A and B are shown apart, each in its own frame.
Chain A
Amino acid sequence: MEFGLSQDQKMMQDSVHRTLERAAPLARVREAAEANAIARDVHKALADLGVTGLLIPESFGGAGLKLLDAALVSETLGRHAAPVPFIAASVMAPLALIHAGSPEQQQRVLPKLAAGETIAGVAIAESVSGTRDGAGLTASGGKLNGKALFVMDFADADLFVVADRACGLHLVEANAPGLTKTSLISIDRTRTLGEIACNNTPAEPLQNGNAAEVLSRMRDAGWVMLAADTLGAGWHMIDQAVAYAKERKQFDRVIGSFQAVKHMCAEMAAELEPCRSLVWYAAHAFDAIPADAALTAAHAKAHTSEIGRFVARTATEVHGGMGMTDLLGLHYWFKRIGLNRQLLGGPERVRDLAAAMQGFAAAS
């Protein structure tokens, strides 16, 4: 029985951390966020480390690792507010191809995803958290019609994995005829989000598996990744708040010596640290304990979102007025946590699904 990380996992996470320290300092995050564009140089550095192919089998040029490894990467990306695609492009889209793609589709797409040469966006928001503003895609005769909102890893995507209203999965080229792309501007400009509208747009079905099951797996993986990102971003904010509290003086004392401030820091740490164990367990269960996978993924997502909001506001508050400023840059993490909370269902929606999974209520 061992509930912890292996030496390899610790080293892998550390090498991603060191790469981002070098390639994505605050100035680079700011530059990318101001343009709301992917930092291609950072993406390249991560691809060279193997991050883009983490979950892709070795036979397709990937590393063939597990979701727990991906969670460690996601945590580290959150810690650095890294302006790169990952959750859709390197986790959910590869899973769709691995579990629902034909051998030909896998051979065509996975090696390019693994190398980071192709970026894949994912449009499954409607099937996970419901439709808003008349969204929803209908598939018929190899063509898609309708629109999908909240497409993740949207900018620079070469193709999209999309879910239709009947939970079917499809692969759509970004330059397919009849496809219109519109960027959505979220609070978090370190990642990109968009809308796609399809007008008789040709799409290839991903139908080599039970699409609804694969869609659930993509959702579960997405939930764990978002939770891990918030875990990393939240700890970054706590570390910043603690460092500031050790330095900032008022009333001739560092403010970190006032219990009112110390206790804010202690509460953040005490609330966020158990989320790490929840994220680890959910990620591990995804590959090793199928019976627990969906429920623990849901709880990891919903709970870490709640704690993330508390940490984001409290850490900002510890910084006083400085916490609000663009100059300090803390707001990039605040907003990152804010977007993670809403994507793939806010906490109430996800808890509702968690209850339904246990038979506590009819699925809504």
Chain B
Amino acid sequence: MDLAYSAEYEAFRAETRAFLEANRHRFPSGWGGGNRPGPELLAWQRLLIEHGYAARTIPREYGGYGAEPDVLKSRIIAEEFTRARAPSGLSGQGISMLVPTLLEVGSEEQKRQYIAPTLRGEIIWCQGYSEPGSGSDLASLQTRAVEDGHDFVINGQKIWTSTAQYADMIFCLVRTEAERAKHQGISYILFPMSTPGIEVRPLKTMTGHAEFNEVFFTDVRVPQENVVGGRGAGWFVANATLKHERGMLGDPNAAGSRLSAIIELMNTETVDGQTLMQKPVMRDRLMKLQARVLAMQFHGLRLLTAAASGDDVGLARLIVKLEGCELNHQLAAFAIDVLGELGALYEGSPHLRAHGSWQRMYMFDLGLIIGGGTAQIQKNIISERGLGLPREPKLVRA
């Protein structure tokens, strides 16, 4: 156990800090509010890739920085960006899910065509996985791709498709072999969102915003060579990306920032002239949550060390999505309670605090508990893969 970084890493930290200091004037002002990244952000992303603070381990030939994977350096970058309040590089499903998938199973041509512009933020992707009838049982998906000459003709519907309203491309799961077993008839295919026959309808949620979309395909014609990883292999290709998504959804640093914001809130908000921090019941709830946040942060350090050394940590990694999403949700819930009646106010109201973000997070985060593998699916994974309990027996059809 040694929480200090070696000289090599301290030098890397100093270098990162110096970079951020020298480029503070280039920090983009914001994402641009649920839209495509603007020119300022695209320029920032290019600068980050050039210096190895984004796309760090993606090979140079595909437009990345080409460094060896090093989880400690990645962590130092994240820590220093947070410390300097610097916007980190672009994220999103193209960069976090499609690019790793292409690197693993894409053809040389697909890698050359898509990875570099995706990293630069020039191609925005959306993910076409879930369907109205296929959520947790994703492999039961029904969107059909029927062979017609050199093309597939796609018909069906996707749901929960975030960014579809402005995405350039979609990576999509479709059923190419209707007669085969459900896991074997799926293909993973890429196509432009401008292809004729695609209709995007915003899906408004309880937050009052349309964070997602429904996407309808009517005779959408896509060349067969756009399949990634081989026809019928889509389920296995998709599982490679789901692995990346689950890592992304349980970020313990988000919980730390939320906790700091709540402490600030409790020290400033008053009732009858007393701060909320002076209320023993509220303080006790804060302490309960602080313990959980610390536990998950230290748990993150443990996983980081294990990833660097290749140690087997058993089920420790499997619990991160379940515990991390639940904790973030509980933090938002507590902030609402700290605010009392003010906590019920929402966008547009007088006396509103933090633009209504605690309620918005509380509602949106329920979606994160459900999405990317529901809490119940996570518990199946933990009990089956982590504890070795048997799978639910299959129903025998009469």
Contacts and interface: CB of A to CB of B under 8 A. Distances in A.
Contact of B277 (A246, A276, A360): A360
Given A263-B379, A274-B323, A355-B287, A281 B393 contact: no
Contact of A262 (B1, B72, B383): B383
A135 B316 CA distance: 44
B269 to A, nearest CB: 14
A278 interface: yes
B1 A68 contact: yes
B292 A270 contact: no
B5 A1 contact: yes
B290 A2 contact: no
A221 interface: no
B284 A351 contact: yes
A212 interface: no
Interface centre among B1, B322, B391, by most A CB within 10 Å?
Answer: B1
Contact of B299 (A253, A277, A284): A277
A269 B386 contact: yes
B248 interface: no
Size range of the interface on B?
35 or more
Interface string A117-141: 0000000000000000000000000
A351 B277 CA distance: 13
B41 interface: no
A271 B277 CA distance: 27
B298 A266 contact: no
A254 B304 CA distance: 36
Given A4-B1, A306-B288, A361 B280 contact: yes
Contacts of A258: 392
B295 A278 contact: yes
Nearest to A68: B1
A277 B286 contact: no
B393 A253 contact: yes
Given A269-B319, A273-B316, A296 B294 contact: yes
Nearest to A270: B319
A345 interface: no
Given A270-B323, A351-B287, A4 B302 contact: yes
B350 interface: no
B391 to A, nearest CB: 7
Nearest to A241: B387
Given A4-B309, A269-B315, A280-B298, A302 B291 contact: yes
A104 interface: no
Contact of A270 (B306, B309, B322, B392): B322
A79 interface: no
Given A2-B1, A269-B387, A274 B290 contact: no
Contacts of B277: 360-361
A303 interface: yes
Interface residue SS majority, chain B:
helix
Interface in A264-298: 265-267, 269-271, 273-278, 280-281, 284, 288-289, 296
A205 interface: no
B261 interface: no
Nearest to A263: B379
B389 A265 contact: yes
A303 B305 contact: no
Nearest to A253: B393
Interface in B340-398: 376, 378-380, 382-384, 386-393
Interface in B301-321: 301-302, 304-306, 309, 311, 315-316, 319
Contacts of B379: 259, 262-263, 266-267, 270
A2 B303 CA distance: 10
A355 B266 CA distance: 13
B296 interface: yes
B383 A274 contact: no
A299 B292 CA distance: 9
Contacts of A348: 284
B389 A262 contact: yes
Given A1-B75, A351-B284, A352-B283, 9 more contacts: A4-B311, A263-B379, A270-B322, A270-B382, A274-B298, A278-B295, A300-B291, A306-B288, A352-B287
19 contacts: A1-B9, A4-B302, A4-B309, A68-B1, A246-B389, A257-B390, A263-B376, A265-B387, A266-B322, A269-B382, A270-B323, A277-B295, A277-B299, A277-B301, A280-B302, A281-B301, A302-B288, A348-B284, A360-B286
Interface of A: 1-6, 68, 238, 242, 245-246, 253-254, 256-259, 262-263, 265-267, 269-271, 273-278, 280-281, 284, 288-289, 296, 299-300, 302-303, 306, 348, 351-352, 354-355, 360-361
